[in-house]
Structure 1
Amino acid sequence: MTTTASPRRQFLTLLGLSAVAVSCGTTATGGSGKGQTRALRYQGWAGQVTLPELAEDLGYLEDVKLEWVGNTISGPQDIQSAATGQTDFGGAFNGAVVKLAANKTPIKAVISYYGSDKYAYNGYYVLADSPIRSARDLTGKKVGMNTLGAHAEAMLDIYLQRRGLSGAEIDKVEPLVVPPVNTEQSLRRRQIDVAVLGGILRDKALATGGIRPLFTDFELLGAFSAGSYVMTDRFLKRNPDTARTFVTAVGRAIEWSRTTPRDEVIARMTDIVKKRGRNEDTAPLKYWHSYGVAEKAGRITGGELQLWIDWLAERGDIRKGQVTLDDLYTNAFNSAGKGGTTPASPAPSASTSGS
C-alpha cells in the first residue's frame, strides 16, 4: 500500500502481521464441550486490576482460570501477542484493532473494556509554568506517552489537526515512549514537555499539583468506548463456550464496577493486588473512578470502531473498504446486558473539522 504519510506518522507499523504469522502461533486449542480449554493466558498491567482479573475475583469466570504471563505497557503489543497465540486474549485501543484486522489478521473484537468519560480519560498535561498554551506551541516539543501508534498518539494527532496544523507542522511535534510509571517524573524533570496521563497515574499527579491540562480526550470526542479485547477466529471456533464465559464475565464485571460504591470497588481491587503478590504499590488505587466503558456490559455498537476505520482511511493508513465492521467484531459471546443495553451515544467524529 502506498501512502504519502511521513515515517513519523506511519501508524502501527509494529502490527504488520499476516494471517500466516497468526496461523503459526501456539493458540490454546480444544474441541467442543469438555475438550475446550478452560485456562486463558493473558498479560496484565502493573499496579492495576484489569476487568478479567476483577471478573475472576468476583467468581464470574466460573471454572475458567486466568494464567498471567507477565505485564505489558502497550495495547498494540498486547493484541499482537493474542494474534500470534502467545496469549489467548489481548486488549488495545480500537484504532490498533482496526489496523491489525487490515493486515488480514483473523481476529474479532469481542467486548469493550475501557473508554473515556468524565472520570476516566487521558489528559495531556504540562507544567503549571509551561509556556505551552495552544496546539501551535507544541511545535518542536516532546510529548511522552506509553507507546507510539496507539490511543495517545491518535488523540494528539486529532487535536493538532482540529487546531489547524498542517501535516508538516504535526510532524514537528515529537511523541516519545515513556513508561507510564515514569511519565509524571519525566515531566517534572523537564525531560518532556507534555505528559499523557490517565486513570490512577493522572489523579495521583493532579493531587501532587504543579501541572495543568492542555486538553483531554474526553473534551476532544466526548464519552466513548476506546478499546476492545480481541480473540482470534481460531480460538473462538475451537473454544466457544470458554469465550462466552470469559466475555460475559467481563461484561458483568463492568456493570458491577458501575453499580457498586466506589470505596467498595477500590477495596476489592486493593485486595486483588495484594493477593497476587507481584510486589506492587496499592496506594494509587485510591484514585480509581471508572473504567469508562460507554455501553452496558461492554457490548460493541460498531460506531466506536467505525470511527477509526474512517480516520485511518482518511490518513491513508488503510484503503477505503479494506476493513468492514461485519468482519471486525461480534457480540455473540456476550450474554451480559442482552435486551438492556443503554442507548448508544452518536459515534464521535474524528474529522479534522470542528473543535
Structure 2
Amino acid sequence: MTTRRSAIAALLTLTTLAACGGPGSAAASGEQVKELRYQGWVGAVTPAELAESLGYLGDVKLKWIGNTISGPQDIQAATTGDTDFGGAFNGAIVKLKVSKAPITAVVSYYGSDKGNYSGFFVLENSPVKSARDLIGKKIGVNTLGAHSEAITKTYLTRAGLTPEEIKQVELIVVPPVNTEQSLRAGQIDVAALSGTLRDVAIEHGGIRPLYTDVDLLGDFNGGSYVLRDDFIKKNPDTVRRFTTAVAKAVDWSRDQPVETVRAKFEEIIAKRGRNEDTKQVKFWKSYGVVSPGGKIADTDFSVWIDWLNGTGELKKNDLKPADLYTNDYNDLAKGGAAG
C-alpha cells in the first residue's frame, strides 16, 4: 500500500510540475514569469540589483539564490536553469555558445574604462617587469577561461611569447577577496584585480600594475547578461522589462554624481542583509559600460571570436556575432521609450 501511495504521489508531483511548466518557465495559463532567480557578488551591487532598487523593474522581482565569483559559472547556471539570467565576459559567452548552449546575450552590464578596469599587479620590488619575466610565474585570477585569462594571453602574445612559452605562465584560481593578500604573502607573483578590490589594494600601497586591459584594448564593453532562449520565447515582456531596466540602471550610474551612486549602493547592501562589508563601495567609479543603454555591438563579440579562432580554441568555428546577441529587448538600444 505504501508503495502504491508513493507512486501516486510521485505521479501527482510530475503532473503538477508539467502543468506549471517547471521552474523558471511560464505557467500553462500563459502568464509570464515575474520573479527572476540570480546570483550576486559579495560586497558589490550589480546593475540588475540597482535596477530593482531604482524601481525600473516594475512588477518584476529578483530572487537572490547565492553569490558567485565566476562569470563562466554564472552563465552556466543560467544555461542549466538553476538561475534565470547570468552575466559573464563576452569571450566566455562565445565559448559557451560554441558548445551549443541555448542562450542569448541581451544587454552589456560591465566594461572597462579608466574608472573600471582589470589590472594585473605585482609587488613594488618584484623582479617581474615584462611579459617574458612571467615565464614560470603564477598569476592569481578569479576563474579560468574568462576575462583575466583572455587579457593575459593577449598581453603575452603581443609581447612575442610563443605558445609553448605562454603555457609556462601559470594561472591560479584565487577568490577575488583573497587575491591581494595572496600577492603580498608571496603565494602568487601577479594579482588580477578589478573594481573596488583593485582600488583598495592600490590604497594599501606597495604594488604596481604590469599591464591592464584598457592599456591593451582601450575602453570596451566586457560582459553581457544572458538568458536561455526558451525563457526569452516564453517570457518576452518580462525579458524586455528586465533588459531595459538594466540599461536604464547602467545609464543612471553613469549620469549621476559618483557620490550619489555610492550612497545608493550602501543603501542596497544594508537593506539586503547579507552580512557584507561596505568599505569597498567608497572606491566604486563606474560599471565601465561604454555604449549608451548597454547596447551590444558586433565588435563586443567579434574581437573574442577572432582571438579564440587564432588560439585554436574554436577550431575555426564559423560562429558570427549576430548568433550571440540581440538588442531587440532593450528599448534604450532601439531608441524607444524607457518604460
Letter in 2 for 1:303: T
The secondary structure found in structure 1 opposite 2:151 is helix
In structure 1, what is the equivalent of residue 229 of structure 2? 233
Letter in 2 for 1:216: T
In structure 1, what is the equivalent of residue 287 of structure 2? 291
Output one character per residue of 1:42-77: Cα deviation in whole Å (capped at 9) or x when no partner: 000000000000000000000000000000000000
Letter in 2 for 1:256: W
Q: Counterparts of 1:164 and 1:122 in 2: how far apart (Å)?
A: 22
**Structure 2 residue 291 is the aligned partner of structure 1 residue 301:** no
Counterparts of residues 140-289 of structure 1 (less than 5 Å): 140-289=136-285
Letter in 2 for 1:107: I
In structure 2, what is the equivalent of residue 17 of structure 1? none
Aligned residue among 47, 52, 59 for 2:55: 59
Q: By how many angstroms is 1:336 displaced? A: 1.6
Letter in 2 for 1:78: D
Q: By how many angstroms is 1:322 displaced? A: 3.3
Unmatched segments (≥5 aa) in structure 1: 1-24, 341-355
The secondary structure found in structure 2 opposite 1:109 is strand
Output one character per residue of 1:258-302: Cα deviation in whole Å (capped at 9) or x when no partner: 110100000000010011000100011000000000111111011
The secondary structure found in structure 1 opposite 2:254 is helix
Unmatched segments (≥5 aa) in structure 2: 1-20
Q: Is the 8 A contact 1:26 1:85 kept in 2?
A: no
Letter in 1 for 2:156: L
Q: By how many angstroms is 1:29 displaced? A: 1.0
Q: By how many angstroms is 1:121 displaced? A: 0.2
Q: Counterparts of 2:210 and 2:321 in 1: how far apart (Å)?
A: 33
Q: Counterparts of 1:125 and 1:32 in 2: how far apart (Å)?
A: 53
Q: Counterparts of 2:273 and 2:228 in 1: how far apart (Å)?
A: 30
Q: Counterparts of 1:252 and 1:27 in 2: how far apart (Å)?
A: 28
What percent identity do the matched residue pairs reach? 59
Q: Counterparts of 2:172 and 2:200 in 1: how far apart (Å)?
A: 21
Aligned residues: 316
Counterparts of residues 20-59 of structure 1 (less than 5 Å): 28-30=24-26, 35-59=31-55
Q: By how many angstroms is 1:27 displaced? A: 5.2
The secondary structure found in structure 1 opposite 2:63 is strand
Q: Is the 8 A contact 2:111 2:219 kept in 1?
A: yes
Q: Is the 8 A contact 2:328 2:334 kept in 1?
A: no
Letter in 1 for 2:123: L
Letter in 1 for 2:219: A
Letter in 1 for 2:279: A
Q: By how many angstroms is 1:315 displaced? A: 1.1
Aligned residue among 310, 314, 327 for 1:318: 314
Q: Is the 8 A contact 1:309 1:323 kept in 2?
A: yes
Q: C-alpha root-mean-square deviation of aligned residues, in Å? A: 1.5
**Who wins on radius of gyration, i.e. which is larger?**
2
Output one character per residue of 1:213-267: Cα deviation in whole Å (capped at 9) or x when no partner: 0010000100000101100110000000000000000000011001101000000
In structure 1, what is the equivalent of residue 105 of structure 2? 109
**Structure 2 residue 110 is the aligned partner of structure 1 residue 125:** no
